[in-house]
């Protein structure tokens, strides 16, 4: 039976970023499946870790006995958050400049908290970029891209 070595690493990152958000904890904390994250409840706050892609680490050295030359895996993960954003009022008026500024500051604080958690998780090899999202549908936030490496499970002989 195959052993999943990635999910425990994803939980480690999720727990580390959630710890950094304790001042304003999100109501929804998930490992997200698939290529996109649905913003099911941004007004309660939603934080996630998801797989963006997995690539093999390859190569052959005299000491390598890895199957097919695969030495391990590099998983690129998305670690993101969304929260409520200021929206049009019932009369169709745009949000106030102050409300939009509060959303911006909140998004920047969330980005800082997430990257702190990612870096302190102890499992991340590199952090690549922050990609903001929204405001859309009353949600604003973003996602960090980071990588982790893990071993190949050896085939039984």
pLDDT at 157: 46
- Model-wide pTM > 0.85: yes
pLDDT tens column, 44-89: 999 999 999 999 887 665 555 555 667 888 999 999 999 999 998 8
| Residue 58, number of CB atoms within 10 A of its CB | 12
Q: Which residues pair with 144 in a beta bridge?
A: 79, 130
Spatial contact of 36 and 50, defined as CB atoms under 8 Å apart? no
Q: Which CATH architecture has domain 6-33+40-151?
A: 2-Layer Sandwich (3.30)
DSSP string, 95-149: PPHHHHHHHHHHHHHHHHHHHHHHHHTS--SEEEEEEEEEEETTEEEEEEEEEEE
Cis? peptide before 51, omega within 30° of 0: no
């Amino acid at each position: 039976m195959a052993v999943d070595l990635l999910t425990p690493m994803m939980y480690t990152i999720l727990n580390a970023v959630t710890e950094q958000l304790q001042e304003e904890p999100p109501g929804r904390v998930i490992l997200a499946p698939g290529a996109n994250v649905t913003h099911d409840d941004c007004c309660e706050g939603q934080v996630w870790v998801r797989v963006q892609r997995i690539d093999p680490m390859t190569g052959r050295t005299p000491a390598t006995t890895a199957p097919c030359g695969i030495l391990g895996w590099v998983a690129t993960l998305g670690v993101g958050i969304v929260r409520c954003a200021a929206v049009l009022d019932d009369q169709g008026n745009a949000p106030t400049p102050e409300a939009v500024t509060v959303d911006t500051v909140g998004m920047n604080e969330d980005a800082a908290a997430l990257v702190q958690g990612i870096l302190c998780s102890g499992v991340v090899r590199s952090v690549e970029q922050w990609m903001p999202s929204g405001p859309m549908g009353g949600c604003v936030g973003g996602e960090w891209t980071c990588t982790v490496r893990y071993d190949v499970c050896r085939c039984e002989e």
